[in-house]
Amino acid sequence: MDNLTVFTEFLLMDVSGSRELQVLQGVLFLVIYLGTLTGNLLTVTVIVTDTRLHSPMYIFISNVALLDLGTISVVVPNTVVNSITGRKAISLTECAAQIFLYLVFAEVEIALLVVMSYDRYVAICHPLHYGLILTPGLCSQATAGSWASGLVYSAVHTGSLFRLPFTKTNVIQQYFCDIPQILRISSPDVQYSESVLLATHSVKARKKAISTCTPQLSILLLLVISGAIAVLGPIAQKPSLKNLLTAMFYTTVPPFVNPIIYCLRNREINAALRRMCHRYSLFTVNDSLH
């Protein structure tokens, strides 16, 4: 145990050492972040302001939109600042907070997607009893349970990752505190595992639910596959474009694409968006006349 250095900060490495490419990377992430921010805030605003959308499914969608905002906000703004300013250092506390918050938002979103799949199952297979089964109390309990499970899961895994000191190296070959990279530089005693379980009661209901939720399931599948590749695949020893793209798929793509899926493919949200734009245009015209 002699001559061991215990690191209290990490160095985040970019794909390219060129300042021009680093700035370009920062601008790209900024554009993605602003697009995600606009799409998700618009989704939440439309659902909150339109009383016709105050049903369990749309309440869950608005929660997912807020979680997408949280997920991408944990990683991307810091990445944009680091890329533009050339800053690479991140403290141990900031790294742990980043991982904890990211896991909370990600796990709560996965839990809510499971709840949403049950909501679609009831709506498709038991439409006459939908209001009796999906009561406001049950929706509140499901949302609270999702948050509780996410907090517990994140606390356990973040605690296990950071329970031992880091003595190997403080270089993270990624643009944020990526869990596989933390595992690479952590003690051999630290073990990490996770599983996702999705169960439905009947094959017929599962097929019907899947047929109506294919885009959402595709994004969830993309998130799970890219995350599994990052965790279970060979961990990069140096910055690479493949490493960057894999991380982007499970940190920025789902929050960016989800508003497009929910707004463009959903007739009710499209109609509510048109009504909101119509009300805004009328308000603007009346205001200009006065």
Q: How confident is the model over 36-45, as a mean pLDDT?
A: 89
Specify the pTM: 0.74
What is the reported pLDDT for 148? 93
Q: Does the pLDDT at position 246 exceed 90?
A: no
Mean pLDDT, the chain, integer: 75
**CA atoms of 6 and 171, how far apart (whole Å):** 13
Report domain extents, the chain: 9-186+213-288
Q: Does the pLDDT at position 286 exceed 50?
A: yes
What pLDDT, in 10s, does the model give residues 113-133? 888 888 878 888 888 888 888
CB atoms within 10 A of CB 146: 22
The band of 29, judged by pLDDT with boundaries at 50, 70 and 90, is: confident
What is the reported pLDDT for 275? 79
Q: How confident is the model over 204-233, as a mean pLDDT?
A: 54
DSSP letter, residue 12? E
Place of tokens 């639910």: 209
- Residue 145: Cβ-neighbour burial (10 angstroms; 0-12, 13-18, 19+): middle
Which range of 134-143, 181-190, 251-260 scores highest in mean pLDDT? It is 134-143
**CA atoms of 142 and 192, how far apart (whole Å):** 27
**CA atoms of 118 and 142, how far apart (whole Å):** 11
What pLDDT, in 10s, does the model give residues 137-187? 888 898 899 999 999 989 988 888 888 777 777 788 777 888 877 877 776
Looking at domain 9-186+213-288, its CATH superfamily turns out to be Rhodopsin 7-helix transmembrane proteins (1.20.1070.10)
Least confident of 47-56, 71-80, 139-148, 220-229: 220-229
What is the reported pLDDT for 202? 42
Residue with the bigger pLDDT between 38 and 283: it is 38
